[in-house]
Structure 1
Amino acid sequence: MKKMKKLLVALLCSLMLAPAIAAVDVYEHDPDHTFAFFEFNHLGFSTQRDRFDKVSATVSLDLENQMGSVEVSIDVQSISTGSLLFDQVLRSDMFFDVDRFPVITFKSTQFIFGTLDNVTAVQGNLTVKGITRPVTLTVTHFKCMMHPMLRKPACGLNATGKVRRSDFNLGRFVPLIRDEITLHVVMEALKR
């Protein structure tokens, strides 16, 4: 029993002497300023841009140790192309099959930091229609500061990456409609 007490005292002393662990800040998305959109070449005529209006995300940031993680969930039903007919086609089993696969997810595996605590890229796994593929999103803008109106710490970013539709069983009409699409994420998040 004396050995156990000595061990416990030694453990408590070592914990008190250990340097403080940096706090991880957790941020929740601002639904009015968070969305995802994608663009693709349509028959060679134009670049079309369509978006998902309902995107939720939780971000954990430890800027001092340059670590972070993010989990994103996209409501596929919220797709918005500006055409009710095209929205229905994309929601159908011809493309996203929203009845079977109502959610697209992205879970980060690594944040890449540059100078001055800037996040420059986020690597992770994108899951669409039950198919998961690694994706790297290049962060084109990242900023954390006190929100001037809400008086809460906030962070925002813009990120972009490329994927092939056919990798996610969305390759209908390739090559007439280009296989490669560009993803864009716009997010603002408030500290919990």
Structure 2
Amino acid sequence: MRHLMPAIAMLLAAAPLSAADLRIDPVRSRAEFSVRLLWVSTVSGSFDGIRGDLVIDRAAQTAVVNADIDTESIRMDSARLRRWVLAPEFFDAKHHPRIHFESDPTALQLLSEGGDVQGKLTMRGVTQPVTFHLQANRCPPEALAGCVLQLQGMIDRTDFEMRGRRGALSDRVNLGMAIVLTPP
């Protein structure tokens, strides 16, 4: 029995981590978007309903971010604009209540140093490759709990079948996420 306990401890230490190693804190995390209207003003909003996880592969020294954004959780200055962005011609929240981002395996070191994170964004039932720029932070790769990952990127809304009001609304949409990581 005394030899069994150290053997079990060694197996557990060597076993790859499964499920979520860190969670996205839904209370302190947010996502936001902005798009130019008539090339004069900007329509913007922020989403409060963001959740997901960060799965770490210690052997490969990589991590994968999975984030889901609840489209109905959008906050905007104007109730009229909020109704419009939730309507079928923009986010179509009734039929597509969630926006999903999954990163490609990303080097753990990049999570601290910053750089480009590639992955796939699914919005309105359409999945497209995207690249977000991750800002550098002071969190060491071995201690990411409590860290904030700030990502910024731009998409072409027509790639996601958002073709309404093309004369008044820019095709380019800025997206950003501030993800706070917590233990599961």
Q: Which residue of 2 aligns with 1:106?
A: 101
Instruction: Provide the aligned C-alpha RMSD in A.
Output: 2.6
In the TM superposition, residue 142 of structure 1 has moved relative to its aligned partner by: 3.4
Structure 1: state its 5+ residue gaps.
Answer: 1-15, 146-151
Q: Which residue of 2 aligns with 1:165?
A: 157
Q: Which residue of 2 aligns with 1:51?
A: 46
Structure 2: state its 5+ residue gaps.
Answer: 1-9
Count of residues in Structure 1 that have an aligned counterpart in Structure 2: 169
Rounded Cα–Cα distance in structure 2 between residues aligned with 1:88 and 1:47: 16
Rounded Cα–Cα distance in structure 1 between residues aligned with 2:90 and 2:132: 23
**C-alpha contact (below 8 Å) 2:117/2:131 kept by paired residues:** yes
Q: Does 39-48 or 162-171 show the bigger shift?
A: 39-48
Rounded Cα–Cα distance in structure 1 between residues aligned with 2:90 and 2:42: 19
In the TM superposition, residue 122 of structure 1 has moved relative to its aligned partner by: 1.9
Aligned partner (choices 137, 142, 162) of residue 142 of structure 1: 137
Given residue 32 of structure 1, which amino acid in structure 2 is its aligned partner?
V
Q: Deviations over 1:150-191 (max 9, x none)?
A: xx9322110111100111111211142110111111110112
Q: Percent identity?
A: 27
Q: Which residue of 1 aligns with 2:37?
A: 42
Runs of 4+ with >6 A deviation: none
Q: Deviations over 1:35-88 (max 9, x none)?
A: 110112111112332111111120123467430001111101111121111111
CA shift in 2, pair 1:137/1:161, >3 Å: same
Given residue 180 of structure 1, which amino acid in structure 2 is its aligned partner?
R
Q: Which has the larger strand fraction?
A: 1
Structure 1 segment 13-32 matched on structure 2, within 5 A: 20=14, 26-32=21-27
The residue matched to 1:105 in structure 2 has which SS? strand
**C-alpha contact (below 8 Å) 2:118/2:132 kept by paired residues:** yes
Q: Which residue of 1 aligns with 2:145?
A: 153
Aligned partner (choices 128, 133, 136) of residue 133 of structure 1: 128
**C-alpha contact (below 8 Å) 1:66/1:117 kept by paired residues:** no
Rounded Cα–Cα distance in structure 2 between residues aligned with 1:169 and 1:81: 22
Aligned partner (choices 170, 174, 178) of residue 170 of structure 2: 178
Given residue 185 of structure 1, which amino acid in structure 2 is its aligned partner?
M
Rounded Cα–Cα distance in structure 1 between residues aligned with 2:84 and 2:74: 11
Q: Which residue of 2 aligns with 1:13?
A: none
The residue matched to 2:80 in structure 1 has which SS? helix
- Normalising by structure 2, report the TM-score: 0.80
- Normalising by structure 1, report the TM-score: 0.77
**C-alpha contact (below 8 Å) 1:112/1:121 kept by paired residues:** no
Rounded Cα–Cα distance in structure 2 between residues aligned with 1:72 and 1:102: 14
**C-alpha contact (below 8 Å) 1:27/1:154 kept by paired residues:** no
The residue matched to 1:142 in structure 2 has which SS? coil
